[in-house]
Amino acid sequence: MKIAVVGATGLVGTKMLQVLAERNFPVTELIPVASERSVGKVISFNNNSYKIVSMEDAIAAKPAIALFSAGGDTSLEWAPKFAEAGITVIDNSSAWRMDETKRLIVPEVNAHLLTAEDKIIANPNCSTIQMVLVLKPLHLKYTIHRVVVSTYQSVTGTGVKAVTQMMNERQGIEGEMAYKYPIDLNVIPQIDVFTDNGYTKEEMKMVRETKKILEDESIRVTATCVRIPTMGGHSESVNIEFENDFDLLDVKDILNDTPGVIVQDDIDNFIYPMPLTAHEKDATFVGRIRRDETQPNTLNCWIVSDNLRKGAATNAVQIAEYLIKNHLA
């Protein structure tokens, strides 16, 4: 099983390599790919050394699967070339997510849609992944009408440059800025660029991707996405309006039985999800589960997940695992 990792030296690409190793993914040959300036450099994986190669050389090597985390422009240019060579691409960028001909997959939610013919598969936005894991089982039981979500997103979602900026600011060091403003001791209510309707691209990704993954265009979603100076994961305050009433104990039982979700909801002992405790874990954590007392059939909850793992690398690897088990054996 030859596996290519495109963008192998970036934050998510590095995490993909880590997750592949941790999950004992059946890699017989790793093909690491990065920018031209990195070609020829050596990386380590499973106690072996591998030279970084170019896109062309990766295609010529004919891997079964290519995990892409190299940005939207790179994916738009190169993913079709990999696919034409018979290589299945699992792409972490936003390039293909809303393409009607491409699957947008969270394995616990909609892996059943995948077929052997799907050669470019989109990994959803990190914030969307953790939210739909919680929404899906509740939608099946109570039917969701509307979702209001505010996110509290880690600097790791921007990349190495943003992490460096935050750490430099904490040490009083002047350096390159990933953001327009300081991020340490600050909150920036903008993730990605603004669109014509006043929302950012990140916010509109959550709106559109949620509908596509849950296969229900009737669900109304509105989002506010905010960058905060944390590591370890993204957090979300989510307000969910249902068609049908619910029992809080039933909600917790449903979520406890949902693969990939862990309920942390013990306020008497101050137990609730936090990035600090979600860091380096693959689960999505949900807590602060309570009824919205201002209107009927409405629930409030707090969702946290490691954005580099379940929000990116782990979700992509899980898609690959599903394909091997069901379509690429």
- CATH code at position 29: 3.40.50.720
Task: Check whether 8 has a pLDDT greater than 70.
Answer: yes
Residues 6+ apart with CB under 8 A from 55: 6, 33, 78, 81
Q: What values do phi and psi take at 292, rounded to 5?
A: -75, 115
Which pLDDT score, from 0 to 100, does residue 128 have? 98
**Helix or strand or coil: residue 324?**
helix
Task: Check whether 60 has a pLDDT greater than 90.
Answer: yes
Q: Are residues 120 and 172 in the same domain?
A: no
Catalytic residues: 126, 234
Q: Are residues 146 and 258 in the same domain?
A: yes
Q: Are residues 187 and 294 in the same domain?
A: yes
Q: Are 93 and 72 in contact (CB under 8 A)?
A: yes
The CATH number of the domain holding residue 137 is 3.30.360.10
Q: Are residues 158 and 284 in the same domain?
A: yes
Burial class (CB in 10 A: 0-12, 13-18, 19+), 297: middle
Q: Are residues 147 and 219 in the same domain?
A: yes
Buried b (16+ CB within 10 A) or exposed e, 312-326: bbbbbbbbbbbbbee
Q: Are residues 99 and 154 in the same domain?
A: no
CA distance 171 to 88: 44
Structural domains in the chain (count)? 2
Give pLDDT tens digits for 285-321: 999 999 999 999 999 999 999 999 999 999 999 999 9
CA distance 302 to 293: 16
| High-pLDDT (> 70) share of the chain, % | 100
Q: Are residues 196 and 62 in the same domain?
A: no
| pLDDT band of 329, cuts 50, 70, 90 | low
> What average pLDDT score do residues 272-285 get?
98
Range with the poorest average pLDDT among 28-37, 135-144, 190-199, 309-318: 28-37
Give pLDDT tens digits for 184-237: 999 999 999 999 999 999 999 999 999 999 999 999 999 999 999 999 999 999
Which pLDDT score, from 0 to 100, does residue 153 have? 98
Provide the domain limits for residue 57: 2-124+312-326
Q: Are residues 167 and 291 in the same domain?
A: yes
Give pLDDT tens digits for 147-161: 999 999 999 999 999
Task: Check whether 43 has a pLDDT greater than 70.
Answer: yes
Give pLDDT tens digits for 66-115: 999 999 999 999 999 999 999 999 999 999 999 999 999 999 999 999 99
Q: Are residues 212 and 148 in the same domain?
A: yes
User: What is the β-pairing status of strands 298-305 and 234-242?
Assistant: antiparallel
> What average pLDDT score do residues 266-279 get?
98
Q: Are residues 297 and 321 in the same domain?
A: no
Q: Are residues 227 and 111 in the same domain?
A: no
Q: Are residues 79 and 201 in the same domain?
A: no
Which pLDDT score, from 0 to 100, does residue 273 have? 98
